[in-house]
Every structure is written in structure tokens, then in C-alpha cells.
Structure 1
Amino acid sequence: MSNIRDVAKLANVSVSTVSNIINNKNNVSSAVYKNVMEAIETLNYTPNLLARNLKTNKIKFIGVILPNIYSHYNQIVDGILKAAEEEHYHLIIKTANDMKNYENMVLEELIDLGVKGILIITCNATNTGIFDSILSKKIPIVFLERIIKDKDYNSISFDNFNTIYEITENLLNGFMLTHSDEEREIVLVTGHTEFSSEKECENGFKMAFEKHSGNCRNNILHVSLNREYSFKQILYFISQMDKIPDCFITSNEVLAENLIEILGVLNKKSEIYSLSGDSWYKFDNRQGTVKLKRNATRLGIEGMNLLIKNLNSPILFENKQILLKNERENSEMVYKPTTITDTKKEKINLLLLDGPMSEAMLKLIPNFEDHFGVSVDYRKCHYIDLYNSIIESNKMGKSDFDVFLIDLPWIKEFVESGCLLKIDDFIKNDNDEFLLNFNENVRKTFIDYSSSVYTFPLMVGVQMMFYRRDLLEDTKIQWMFYKEYGIELKPPKTWSEFNLVAKFFTRKYNSNSPTEYGTCIAGLNPTGIIEEFLPRQWSYNGRIITGDGEFVINSIENIKALNSLCETYRYCPVESIDYWWDDQIDKFVKGNVAFINTYNSHVSNIYDRQVANMFNNIKSDAIPGNASVLGGWVFGINKYSKYPKESYEFMKWACSNSLSVHNTLLGGFVPKNNVVDNSRLSLAYPWMENISTYLDTERKKQTIRNKKGKILDMNLFEKILADGILDAVAGRKSPEETLSAVKDKFEQIVLGSTS
């Protein structure tokens, strides 16, 4: 195996010169740098991180100590890993199995390895001397889940007290409502109370019982948190009871799984309520088992972030004790048994767009049909056909279709022309918090229209920039970029920066580029190329029409935007002028392109490890210029529908919390808070972590009205604009010529529609 001396010898330089280059201290000539990098490549030299750290203590290692990796502990690790990778920390993960002596040994081992900090779920809360000793060495510690009372240590923990209190309170209230003379029993199964997490469970349980009196008996069983040991303890406890308790509450999923197994062996039944980690699962066939979810991934993320803050500011940092509250979902009345008549199985008909979004939703239709006793039929059609079919249905007063799938730009036109049924009364009768579960920006844009509601959003499309993180963080590439342009290589924030970086990563202009193309547009006429142009237009403060109805599409701002797009195309595959978003993404995931700007609703393949060559190297950011096209699709009810109530229930079902995560996993994006805030989803789809921020940058397309105030067919205007943009991008006309011709055609259409 080659070492640093071999590299130095082959490159004919000193060992210190090689070390400086490896550590990104590139104050050397281009010839020396090239020789060293070629020697590293020839010898296939890879620095040994642990060996380097023992010698220099410059590698950023973090020690993580857990009891085990069962249940929610692995989710905590997922969160720690996510936050650590963002800041280039490396983890050394150890399990101590709740053995105090072994935990102390592991702590000492981590200190010897030179870790920068430690995250720990400790079993040794009484022996604070070892922790004080570590802190005195300027090695910060963050305690996860189990905190140490009366010490000013960094910590982050779950709100176990209130979670257990609330479920116990609800169970007791339910028992009281039955007015039964039979004594009921609830048993709490938890770990030993030397752990604060378990003590808080016990305290919440006891507090709920202190508020109640009556025929309810409580029992607390303290067991080992080890899977195998606790199985034996729980089995012995239950075997000594005359009657199986009505309910068990457990402090983690391992104990609940043991209970399920034991009750199965004994052929007994009981309700089980278990504290768990976070999960997007909504449907569980194991009757009588309820998971009380806690955001374990978020706890890991926040714990690591707290440690990083401490490391970045060791002198001024003030220790923090964070209690991670469980997020409550607003109530939704979706599955109501009395909603649909039972006397006749009705059928509703859907008019849908032919594409992945509809396919994802249709896969879940059996759930609706089984719960509501309503069958569903549908027709799928292409974009323009869908628009024309809805217009035709309204003109002819047809009831062939009950529910329409509607593109965002069409909503205003369809509401004003009377295509859609107002659903305010349905919402009022439900008297729940369904609408509050949508992201606030989404409610304003997709739902509220003139103080009334006509639609529910099924999918929101957010334009984002995706790029190759490995390329931007490669020291050799960074050095080459700096030598060429004299500025740091980083994700571009403006369209000028974007084009500069795209040029650098295009092999036609840079023979050393690791990718063939810097970027790749989705130029398909009309929608693709329009939505490449609009973000640039808005970034340069351009617009199509003024508030007074004057067309300004040929303004200086719009000419600059079109020039920018024309330049971008020079760094793209020639055929991308005919690409749809899926074609663009396919080019990116194969590693041929450094940057793309695309919609979140099309990026599932980017994060598919079977498809993408560089899953861990893909990052997302706001689109350059910080102004992107807001896209999305909504459901609305045909004003002439024969089954408006059933149609409303379908719309609500399709956009419910119960199915929003499933729909997102299948390739859509239902803009509900439980999706946006789901830490597990953000691990699978990292772009979701900042989705609320991206939604804030979204803009709607302008609508065009004639002199009488009627909204005109925007598809016609978009086709004219798209044809013009493509003429300029392909070099057939100049941007000035193109936009002047577009303006003339727009004015003729408006004039013709008024006369």
C-alpha cells in the first residue's frame, strides 16, 4: 500500500508539499500541483484518516454511544449522520448495552482516538465524574434522550412525561364513559427509573391516575431494556396475573414487540400503546397496537447540530437543555362511516392528467372504495385535451365527470367561468381542521379564492437546483476553478454565476471538466422552455404585461433574461431543447451533467440508489435568482356532478394526512404539514428539508385578460412565447427580434378577443 512518502518521491517534491495539497493548502505552482495529483492517482494513494487523526488530531471525528441499535435508536443515528455529513464530521459509533463499566471503557477509547465531541445515551447518570473529566479536556458532550438532572450539561430529550400522561388520561376517560362496574387495569411497562426517560414515563402515568378515581387499577412493571432479558421478565409478570390487563403502555417498541409475542404465545389479547420513533406508516393490521410517535430522527439532527454549535464557539457557547415536543396533527374527519349512503354503491368519475402523479394516486384507490363504498372510474388524457375537456363539459352542462384534476394556472379561469362547485358548506359541516394541515403558502395560493374554497391541492411542484456536491467539494476542481476565474467555486446564487459554473463544467469549453455538460435544460415546447425562461425573467425583474394591460414582453429586462437562457443552452446537450423533465433528470443521474434546475415532483429517480450513480453526492438548493415557477395540481368538483358529496369525500381522502406521505413516496407531493415536517422523508428525499423555504420563493404565472376583463386562454399565449424563445435559443432569431414579434402577436389576440 502506498504512503505519502511514495507520492512525494514520484512527484519529486517534499512530504510537506504533498501534505499541504491534500489538506487544501494550495499555495503551490500549477505544475507542482499537477505533478502531485498525478502521483496520487498513479499510486492510488488514500490517506488513512484514523492514523492521520492520531498524529495530527485534525480530522473531525465525533463519538456516538448508544445502548443498542434497536427501534428508535437507529433513527436517532440516521439524524446524527445527516447533520454530521453536512459539516463533514465523521462518526465513530459504539453500543454499550447499558453496561456502566463498558460505557466508561468506550468513553476512554474515544478520547484516545481524538474525537472532537461526544453524543451519548448514557446508562451511567450517577457517575458524573467521568463526564466532568472529559469536559475539562475541552471535549463537548451532548446527552440524548436520557439527561442528567441538576447538571448544566448539553442535552436534548423527548417529552415522555406529557406523551404518557395524555394517553393514560385518554384511556381513563374512555373507561369512565363505559360506566362499567368491572374493574379495569392499565399496566405501564418501562425501564428502570435511574434513566430519566423511563422516570418521566412513570411520572406521567402516575400523574394521570392522581387526577382520576374509580374502577381503574394501575400497575408499573420495571424491566431491563434489553430485548431478550425483558422478554423473560414480562412473561413471568403476566403469567402470575389472574387476568390479562385491558391495556399496556410501553416506553419503547422493543418492549411492545415482546408483549405482542407473549400475548400471541398465550393466545390472549390486550391493547398496547407504545412510545416509538418516527414513522410515516398510517395503517397497521395488528389490531390493538398503537404507536405513540416521537421524532427520533429530529432528535438526532438537533443533538448533532447542538454539538457542532458548541464546537464552533467553545468560549461563548452557553449549554442548552432542549425538550423535543411531540408535534400534534390537526384533526381530520376523513374515514366517517355515515358519510356515504349504504343503500346503493355509487360511482364517481374522474378526469385526470395522463402521467406519474395520477398513476400514484390511482394505486391507492382501493383504500377509498373499501372505506366509503363508492366505486371510482376515470379517464386519463394529455395536457391540452384535459383543459379542453373541462371547458367543453362546462359549456355543454355535462355531468360525465364528477372530479377534475386541474393545473394551477387554470384555477382562476375555471372559478370565474363557473366550471367548479363551491365546497364551503361541506367544509363547514365537517367542522375539523383539515385545511389547517396544508402549508400556509399553499392555502393562500391553491385553496382560498375570493373567501371561498373550490379546490384541494393534490401536488405542488417546486423548482429547485440540484447539483453534484462531490464536484464542488473536490479540492482539485476547486483549485482549477479559482485559477481560471479568481473566485471560489460554490452553488450559484444568480443566473450569471450559474452560467459561469455551467461553462466550467462543460468539456467543450474546459477539456479537464469531469462532466460532459455543465447543465441540461428541459426545453420541450411549450411548458418546458417557458418554465426555463420565467425564473430568469423574474430574476431580472421582467414581466409579460403591466397592471394597465400593456404588453412589455420586449423590455430590456426580458431581453437580458432570454440572453441568459440562450447562453445556458450552450452548456447543455443539443437535444435537450426537446427534453421533458424526466429526460433532463435521466441525463443528470447518469453523471453526465453537473447542475440541473427542475421540479421536486419529478426527482424521485435522483434519490433512487438503483438508478442514480451518486446518491450521496447530490445536493439541492434554491434556484438561481431566488424566483421560481409555482406549479401544482388540484382537485375540483364539476358544477354539474350528480354526486357532489361523494366527490367531496374523494377529494378530501386523496389529500388527507392518512395518504399524503404515501402519495409523496409514490412520486407526488401533497403539500401537508405532516409531509413537510417528516424527518424520515427528508432522509429519503433530502430536498424536502428546506421545502418550506423553497415554497416562499415561488411565483405564479401572470394571467392575461381582454378589455372586457375575461381571462384568455393562457395555453395560446404560452405556445406563442415558447415558439419565440426556441427561435432565439436555437439561434434562428435574436432575442430582440423574437420578443418584439411575440409582443405583436399578443396584442393581436387581445384585440381580436374584444372585437
Structure 2
Amino acid sequence: MENITISDIAAAAKVSIGTVSNVLSKKGNVKIETIRKVEEAAKLLGYVRNENAQVMKKKISNTILLIVPLLNSALGPLIIDLLHDLKFNGMELKIIEVESYSDIQDLLNLLKQGQYKAAVCLASIKDKSLINAIPVTKLITIGSPDNEKNTIEMNMDSFFKITSNIKEYTIISDKNDFSIYEIVMAKKQEQLNVVNLEEKDIPESFASLKHRKFIVFSKDIIEKLLTFYEGYTGEIPQFILISCNTGYHFYDFLKITKYYFSSNELALKIIKLIQALPTNPKKFKIQKERINIYPTATHEFGKLEKKRKIRLLLLKNPFSKALKQLATKFTKETNIEIEITDLPFTKLNELIIEKKVEDYDMIKLDVSYFPWLGPNLFLDLANIPEIKELADNMKNWRNYCYVDQQLLSLPADPSIQMMLYRKDVFENPIIQKAYSEIYNQMLLPPTSYSELADYSEFYQSVNIPEKSIPYPLSINKGDGILLASEFLPYFYSLGGEIKLVDGVFEVTSEAFVQTLDAYKRIRQNAKIQNEAWWDTEIENFNNRKTSIIICYTNHLNQIIGNDYDYCPVPGQAPAFGGGVLGITKGSKKLIECTLFFQWLYQYRIQEQLASLGVCIPRTHLFDERNNYRKYPFLSYSSKNFSMGKRLQYIEQNYVLNTIEIERIIGNEVNLGIEMDSSNLDILIKIHNQLNSNKSHLLRQYEE
């Protein structure tokens, strides 16, 4: 089919070329009927917008240079991920291999011409003339820290923490090692034994290297070294492999400690820096990013002689489903059977509150219950060195581990609220035009609670053929806890607080009234659910009954398809959720439970959970290529945990019964709306309920 032009569309729609141009570029004051005619004509003719032509028209290059000393397998994962991620963001990749240029002046001339959007260079490139030929406003370096350039620094803290006696190792240097060798040298401030990657240099030093330990940066180097060990009867060398490829499999006889950094995370951070580059050089500011390098060691479990069993009580959700799939692995490796009981939220809470859990060794407790129930339910884990070590490596998850300085649990599936929205609604030009005619602004995903209320009213009232989804969103009123979890984040976003003043609970009245006004507007236009859990809201979104869903990320892997986008919840004060996993005080299976913790938090098990869309504490795994493609919102959500809020403590030395406080607020809001009570009456009843039940909602502990 020949290329369709805007002239063809104009003729088919019987409008001017200028009108077609305005519709396609979303400019001008074009009537809805005209937009519809143009869109229908473009669709009928099979018109596809040429983004490259638009870039050329604006004289802006979309080419990104990746400048490397030499192409080899160490760069393979980064190149693949960068190609995909750049293409998704409307850019293209051009790779420049410095050593392939016989005349370096040719490369200098290419760089000085500036016909590229940005140039990404490995810091291991030593020719300063190449770096200086690139405008600083277009340059991004990867590797060592550099205070004068946009830089992505390799963070080796985990490596230095774990690896001791580094002088025993020989580093096989690699031109594409992302400057890791230089970072190691600078950190240790001591001369290490370094061998050049050049094959001709290895045989000369081989006799002195046989008994050494090696730090290498790719599988190729290991295999090259092994050729020199053929026929050697001594001890096989040990390797530390630092790579962005986790898929390596080696001979069983090799002793390899693997450290890993994510090539897709690196690609995403490159794009983040590119998008931050200013078009005006005067506005240039140096940007910094870091890539963490993680250990991926597999714990070697010795099978217990006799078969044992531990019993787990879990909330029925994606975590429990995934754990059931992986449980046989644990049994095979340890000879310990896992018996999993997973129950709906209400039934699980009844068992826990009524203390009918004596038959279980481990319980997954919702984080909202954790500070109140954890101390009575869970064993102090600080005296178990293996678990204490795991907790020390999860310092970002203190709310999921400690109560009153006691280590009681580890995070199971930490999550946070997010908003997903249908792209075909928010990007539809007819719906956009209808919205702009009412509010005199573009239709964008709501960023505040009042904007969410405006969108809900607009969407429910608009009556046009392009509205294929009936409701703006679902609202759950069947359970006070769920209602409060949808209400309180917006209350907090407006500066609302629940405080203890002279021993009396107080709720900020102005923020409460504003939030309740907006909530009533949303509720009048939403699809109302009378359920006790999130499943129906997810089902509504999957079945295209709602255009928005606001939910915790540990449930969102149930979302089907990819015709949605994601952003923070309106107000950007999301509630954090998910659960913690602890050992019950009555359990006699401490050895078995400790082994389960060690198994669960291994890199390979966390990696498998992430691949199933389960929320995990190792959030960097959400940036892996396959996980990022399937569950992009998980990667995005992991950057927003710092915004998370949940009322668990008050005035520093009081712990709160969070879930019951939320239940009271949710129930009173729901009852008050159904009885048509005023906002002030609802607030007074909440105050009365909180203070009359204070003994069940508040507990002091010693610092």
C-alpha cells in the first residue's frame, strides 16, 4: 500500500489540510464532529503517523551513540536491552567500536558534527580527545564517578562488604568492564595482581597463576582460562564473576561466586538521563545515577536426615499462589515439607484475632496488623544469626521487620498503592476534546483527589460513541478497612493527620471535610462494589468496565493485557501494604523455619517470584528485561515506596491498632453517606468511636 498523506485524509474527510494537521497534532480549536470525521478517515485509509518524519521536521536527532572500546559478549545484554528500550521511547541506537577505527580522526569528526541526541561512553575509554569531542550537554558516562559529567556509577558496596582477602585474587582486566577494576583499585588502595585480557599475555603468566583466585567480567574469560588448565591435575581455580548476565551455566566442578548488575536497569537509567538533557545548553545541570551490583550466591542446603514439616498460614493472594508452586523445590532441597493454608482476608484475620493459630509455625501477617499483633504472635528473631543477617540486608524494610526495636519478621510481599489507567480512554482525541471543552485543560491522569473527582463526574456524564468503557473506576464499600484504604491516602495528601492531643484522638477537620466532599463526588459516579476484597475491582478493570483502577501492587499481577499505563495515586500519598512473615512463639521448628527463610530470600527464589509478578523485597529484580516487559508497574512502584504512609505509630512511643482504626473510619464514612449525614456529623462520630475504643486502639511501649 502506498503511503497515505494528510492530503488524502483531508480529501476523504472533506476538510482542509490545515484541519487534518491540527487534529493529528492535537492543536487548534477543532470541533468534536470534525475530529471524529478526520480520525475515522485516517483509520479507514490505514494512516500510520510517521514519528521519524516528525523528528526530521523538527531537526532533532533521535539517534543515541553507544561508544565502547571493543565489542564482546560482556556488552551483549546491555545492547539488547538498550535497543528495545530506546525503540519503545522513540529513539534508535548506533554502536561505535573505537578499536574498529584505523584513523581516530574520522571518529573525532563524526562526534564533533553532533548529529546525535546523546552519546553514552564507557568510562574505560582512555582517549580523552574522544570524550572532549562530545558536548557535555550530550555526554553520559558509565563507570567511575565523575563530578563534571552526567554519570551512571557502578555501586560496589555489596561486593566490598562480602568479599574479603581481595589481595588473593587476580583481576583479568577487560576493556568493557564498566570501570569495575578501577573502582576496586580505588576502594582498596592497594596494588592487585592484574593480568591483561589479551590471550597472548595469559600463557606467559600461567605458571604463577595456577593457584590463584580470579575476578573476571564475562563467561568468555573463564572459558579461555580453562583451556590452559587442560591436563592440569592440581586444584581448579576459584572465580568471582561480575556480569550483567545471570544466565550463565558452568561445569559443576567450578567454584564461581557471581555478582550481578541489571543491564535493563542500566538501559532505563541511560534513558532517564537522556530525557533529562536540556535542549538549551544554558540550563544544563549534571545528573547522577547509580547501578547496584548484587551477590547472587545460591545457599547450599544439606538435606535433613529425617523428613520434617512446617505449617504456614498465609493470606490467599498472588504470593501464596506462587509459593505453592515453588514449595516442592524447598522440599526437594531440604527434605522439609511445607503445608500451606491460605485463607481470604476476613477468615485469616478471624483466626489471628481469636488466637486460633497454635498449630502453625509461620504466619504471614498484614503489615497493618504487624505493630499491634506482632509482639504477641511472633518470636524475637534477633537471636537467630542467619535471620538477623537477612534482616541486616533489608534495611529499607524496617517497617516490615521491627516493632519497638524487636526483630519479629521479614517482608514477604511489600507493596504500595498505584493507579493504572486505560490508554485508549485517556489518549482518545474525542474524549480529550470533550474534557477540554468543560475544564479548559488537557485530559491527563488525575494527580490530585479533586482531579479524580472531576474526571469521575466528567466520564460518567459524557455520552459519546467513543466511550466504550462504562465507568470511571470502582469503589468498594463492602468492608470498612478497604474503604478507608481508598479514603485515607487522599486525606493524608491534603495534610490531614490523626493525632493524640492530651490523650484524645483528633482528626484534622478541614482535610477530612475536603476529602469527604471529593469522595462523595467520586462515589456518585463510580461502579459501587459491596465486596470484602480487591478481586472484583481487578475483574472490572480486566473486563473493561472501568477506565481506572487504584490498588495495591501485590494484587496487580492479575491485570490482563498491556493496553494500560500507570502512575502514582492521586495526591501521591499512597498507603503501603503487603505482609510480613514471622515464626510463631509456639513453634518447635526453629531450624526448619530458619532454613525456609534462607531459601526464600535467595536470589534465585526471589527472581522466580518476581517473574510471576509477585512483590518482593529485592525490588531491583523488577527492572529485569522479562519482568519489566510483563509487569512494568512493579519497577515504577519500587521507586515510590518513599512516598508510602500507614498510620502505625503515634507520638513515637505509642503503637496503634491500625486495622481497627481504619475499620472505624471506613465504617463511619460509609454509614454516614448512606444516612445522608453531614460531613461534620460523620467526623464527630469518628472522633467518638476512636476515643470510646481507645483502650483497644492504642498501646504504649517502652523506648
Q: TM-score range by the shorter chain?
A: 0.7 to 0.9
What corresponds to 1:4 in structure 2? 6
SS at match of 1:291: strand
Cα deviations across residues 286-321 of structure 1 (Å, max 9, x unaligned)?
Answer: 84344332343343334334444444332343678x
C-alpha deviation, 1:462, in angstroms? 0.9
What corresponds to 1:99 in structure 2? 100
- Of residues 612, 622, 641, the one that matches 1:695 is 641
Cα deviations across residues 504-530 of structure 1 (Å, max 9, x unaligned)?
Answer: 344755554353322223444354333
In the aligned structure 2, how far is the partner of 1:324 from the partner of 1:163?
13
Matched, 1:669 2:669: no
What corresponds to 1:292 in structure 2? 259
What corresponds to 2:700 in structure 1? none
In the aligned structure 1, how far is the partner of 2:646 from the partner of 2:472?
28
* Partner AA of 1:698 in structure 2: G
Matched, 1:78 2:81: yes
Call closer, same or farther: CA 1:154–1:542 in 2, change over 3 Å: closer
What corresponds to 1:303 in structure 2? 270
Stretches of structure 1 lacking an aligned partner (at least 5 in a row): 175-185, 224-232
* Partner AA of 2:218 in structure 1: E
In the aligned structure 2, how far is the partner of 1:38 from the partner of 1:554?
51
For the Cα contact (< 8 Å) 1:588–1:595, is it kept in 2?
Answer: yes
In the aligned structure 2, how far is the partner of 1:260 from the partner of 1:21?
62
- Of residues 198, 223, 226, the one that matches 1:222 is 198
Matched, 1:420 2:418: no
C-alpha deviation, 1:486, in angstroms? 0.7
Cα deviations across residues 14-71 of structure 1 (Å, max 9, x unaligned)?
Answer: 4344334433332556665454444333423223333454455257454556766955
What corresponds to 2:321 in structure 1? 359
For the Cα contact (< 8 Å) 1:164–1:204, is it kept in 2?
Answer: no
C-alpha deviation, 1:255, in angstroms? 1.4
* Partner AA of 1:354 in structure 2: K
In the aligned structure 1, how far is the partner of 2:395 from the partner of 2:620?
9
In the aligned structure 1, how far is the partner of 2:600 from the partner of 2:578?
15
What corresponds to 2:138 in structure 1? 140
Cα deviations across residues 354-408 of structure 1 (Å, max 9, x unaligned)?
Answer: 33322323444445445655444343334343334345547xxx85322222222
In the aligned structure 2, how far is the partner of 1:647 from the partner of 1:4?
67
Superposition pairs of residues 381-396 of structure 1, within 5 angstroms: 381-393=343-355
* Partner AA of 1:41 in structure 2: K
C-alpha deviation, 1:618, in angstroms? 1.5
SS at match of 2:515: helix
In the aligned structure 2, how far is the partner of 1:446 from the partner of 1:207?
33
* Partner AA of 2:41 in structure 1: A
What corresponds to 1:228 in structure 2? none
What corresponds to 2:561 in structure 1? 612
What corresponds to 1:587 in structure 2? 540
Query: Please, what TM-score do these two structures have when normalized by structure 2?
Result: 0.76
Cα deviations across residues 609-639 of structure 1 (Å, max 9, x unaligned)?
Answer: xx3142xx51222x22333333232223322
In the aligned structure 1, how far is the partner of 2:378 from the partner of 2:130?
70
Q: What is the count of residue pairs matched by the alignment? A: 689
Matched, 1:411 2:370: yes
Cα deviations across residues 687-717 of structure 1 (Å, max 9, x unaligned)?
Answer: 344546533333335799xxxx9988956x7
In the aligned structure 1, how far is the partner of 2:531 from the partner of 2:358?
37
C-alpha deviation, 1:645, in angstroms? 4.9
* Partner AA of 2:77 in structure 1: N
SS at match of 1:39: helix
For the Cα contact (< 8 Å) 2:213–2:239, is it kept in 1?
Answer: yes
Call closer, same or farther: CA 1:586–1:110 in 2, change over 3 Å: farther
For the Cα contact (< 8 Å) 2:649–2:655, is it kept in 1?
Answer: no
What corresponds to 1:226 in structure 2? none
* Partner AA of 1:686 in structure 2: P
Stretches of structure 2 lacking an aligned partner (at least 5 in a row): 698-703
In the aligned structure 2, how far is the partner of 1:69 from the partner of 1:220?
15
SS at match of 1:348: strand
SS at match of 1:292: strand
Matched, 1:40 2:25: no
Superposition pairs of residues 273-672 of structure 1, within 5 angstroms: 273-277=240-244, 279=246, 287-317=254-284, 326-327=292-293, 335=299, 346-369=308-331, 374-393=336-355, 399-415=358-374, 418-426=376-384, 429=385, 433-440=389-396, 442-443=397-398, 445-469=399-423, 471-472=425-426, 477-506=431-460, 509=463, 512-513=466-467, 515-539=469-493, 547=501, 558=512, 560-574=514-528, 576-578=529-531, 580-606=533-559, 611-614=560-563, 617-621=564-568, 623-651=569-597, 653-655=599-601, 659-672=605-618
In the aligned structure 2, how far is the partner of 1:550 from the partner of 1:130?
64
For the Cα contact (< 8 Å) 2:615–2:634, is it kept in 1?
Answer: no
What corresponds to 1:19 in structure 2? 21
For the Cα contact (< 8 Å) 1:117–1:307, is it kept in 2?
Answer: yes
In the aligned structure 1, how far is the partner of 2:414 from the partner of 2:177?
39
* Partner AA of 1:519 in structure 2: L
* Partner AA of 2:220 in structure 1: L
* Partner AA of 2:555 in structure 1: H
Query: Please, what TM-score do these two structures have when normalized by structure 1?
Result: 0.72
What corresponds to 1:253 in structure 2? 218
For the Cα contact (< 8 Å) 2:137–2:281, is it kept in 1?
Answer: no
Call closer, same or farther: CA 1:586–1:9 in 2, change over 3 Å: same
For the Cα contact (< 8 Å) 1:403–1:636, is it kept in 2?
Answer: yes
In the aligned structure 2, how far is the partner of 1:648 from the partner of 1:371?
14
In the aligned structure 2, how far is the partner of 1:631 from the partner of 1:672?
16
Call closer, same or farther: CA 1:702–1:15 in 2, change over 3 Å: same
C-alpha deviation, 1:103, in angstroms? 11
SS at match of 2:640: helix
C-alpha deviation, 1:465, in angstroms? 1.6
SS at match of 2:378: coil
Cα deviations across residues 634-671 of structure 1 (Å, max 9, x unaligned)?
Answer: 22332232234543554455456664443343343233
510-519 vs 75-84, which moves further: 75-84
Task: Say which one has the larger Rg.
Answer: 1
* Partner AA of 2:419 in structure 1: M
What corresponds to 1:229 in structure 2? none
Call closer, same or farther: CA 1:257–1:470 in 2, change over 3 Å: farther
Cα deviations across residues 117-155 of structure 1 (Å, max 9, x unaligned)?
Answer: 4446699976957984x75xx9935455699x9x98866
Identity among equivalent pairs (%): 20
- What do you get for the CA RMSD once the two structures are aligned? 5.5
Call closer, same or farther: CA 1:511–1:126 in 2, change over 3 Å: same
In the aligned structure 2, how far is the partner of 1:319 from the partner of 1:698?
28
Call closer, same or farther: CA 1:525–1:275 in 2, change over 3 Å: same
Cα deviations across residues 224-275 of structure 1 (Å, max 9, x unaligned)?
Answer: xxxxxxxxx99xx789978994568575435147549969998996544433
Call closer, same or farther: CA 1:128–1:471 in 2, change over 3 Å: farther
Call closer, same or farther: CA 1:585–1:624 in 2, change over 3 Å: same
